[in-house]
Structure 1
């Protein structure tokens, strides 16, 4: 029977980390927490559980998660963020894998809670994530802060597990707005470093399409007021990352 490592990265997750750990403790054979020197009670809460607690200065989302993978004792990984947990059904699905691991990796749907409401539409559900995988055959990639697990062999077959990753997202509109500003800055810098550039057309079309797609095509309208807020912020973060990218382009041109 194979053994599983639960791997988590954290920074100031005292609000959610206990639910995350409780959902993992009877499923995996070890829990590894890589913490970016939290200033709240995250470390104290983790120490109440049987975890391997590693402190590491934040390297970037992709880099930090790949570092966390390297700290695990076992190759078969269940990867969560500190504000995520496994539903009961997903716990049972993962336990079954210990005696019946077939694929190189497994998707699970992520179910997002926003301001106390479980969001069932827009781009937020089913928010399919590859979070159970063999680390020898996969790694975290993408463009920060949009990290995702990618298998080395693109033709690999991937399974889909029953149950949900329960994600406790923003619990106030102000928190959501502040994170939109924060993540758009990271995304703009990552785009710029990768050589991507933005035009005026990107400022007009991309945010409009992002809102329309999530609110109309993917039925965010059915989630009521919070659905509108989510889709509006989807459009706003798209606008801000291209606006900030254009600012970086302008500064580079002025300094050249």
Structure 2
């Protein structure tokens, strides 16, 4: 049976450190690679083109907008693989894609795989986080990225299948870089949580009530349980759940750093930003969208002022 054409889409900005590893994991797996670059100032574009990828540059709004724009620029293909530049495919997932994609029934519109994370050189195994099931393979024309400011996922309307292999997220930048990135992430996540309260944007979500661990069930818990807990307290509760109840302490020193920073500091920072926006709204009487622009410096293209 002839293998279907598969195109990988990678969004980049100054990813010269990670991109060669990512592209190497796609060798012999995909037919073409589209790199959508946000005007990198390092060797990202050179490395991408030197490894046979097609590069298009496009200004940045957020991950969701950039990826959906990339889909509109994709040439004729049958399947799309979404991959971040600091991620790579395991040999098991490479083998599954090469061997099983051609046998997918015509009704299958998306394929889930696992996603694992390496933090400061250590594979995070505890805390109830990884491997998480994510939809990264989908039929061209069937999938689209959620229209969100943070934690966006691919959604398809039809049936899906599962591969056992994993995508590894292994960022090699410093802890200072990680903290700065998550400060920006916290502003974007604050926008999505504020939207649950004030509904200034359409709500686009893959949230699904399910006992099966995955991105859909995780999103349902976040939107229907976590979001309704008191600001600040929920960060403590979430960290306690991850680090104590789900045994995050078994991930050692690196795991303690990761679970504390990502499971408590980051979540508390999100809540602090939400509180600051709401205090500004109360003080000035302005809308949520205006307060977000003034406090978080994010223009969410408000429907009202």
SS in 2 for 1:7: strand
* Separation (CA, whole Å) in 2 of partners of 1:235 and 1:123: 15
SS in 2 for 1:136: coil
Q: 1:92 aligns with which of 86, 90, 95?
A: 95
- Segments of 5+ residues of structure 1 without an aligned counterpart are none
Task: Tell me the number of residue pairs that the alignment of Structure 1 and Structure 2 aligns.
Answer: 253
Cα deviation, residue 204, structure 1: 3.1
SS in 1 for 2:181: helix
TM-score (norm 1): 0.90
> Could you report, residue by residue, the CA deviation over 1:140-180 in whole angstroms, capped at 9, with x for unpaired residues?
11632211111224xx2x22212211111354332332222
SS in 2 for 1:9: strand
Other-structure match for 1:28 = 30
Greater relative contact order (CA < 8 Å, ≥ 6 in sequence): 1
The answer to whether 1:240 aligns with 2:269 is yes
> Could you report, residue by residue, the CA deviation over 1:56-92 in whole angstroms, capped at 9, with x for unpaired residues?
0012111111112222221411110010111111111
- Segments of 5+ residues of structure 2 without an aligned counterpart are 200-225, 286-305
* Separation (CA, whole Å) in 1 of partners of 2:147 and 2:245: 25
* Separation (CA, whole Å) in 2 of partners of 1:241 and 1:194: 14
Cα deviation, residue 99, structure 1: 2.0
Divergent runs of 4+, >6 A: 197-200
TM-score (norm 2): 0.77
How much is the aligned-residue C-alpha RMSD, in angstroms?
2.2
Q: 2:156 aligns with which of 137, 151, 160?
A: 151
The answer to whether 1:174 aligns with 2:181 is no
Determine which structure has the larger strand proportion and give its number.
1
Other-structure match for 1:115 = 120
* Separation (CA, whole Å) in 1 of partners of 2:250 and 2:227: 33
* Separation (CA, whole Å) in 2 of partners of 1:127 and 1:19: 22
The answer to whether 1:41 aligns with 2:43 is yes
**Which deviates more from structure 2 when the two are superposed, residues 166-175 or residues 233-242?**
166-175
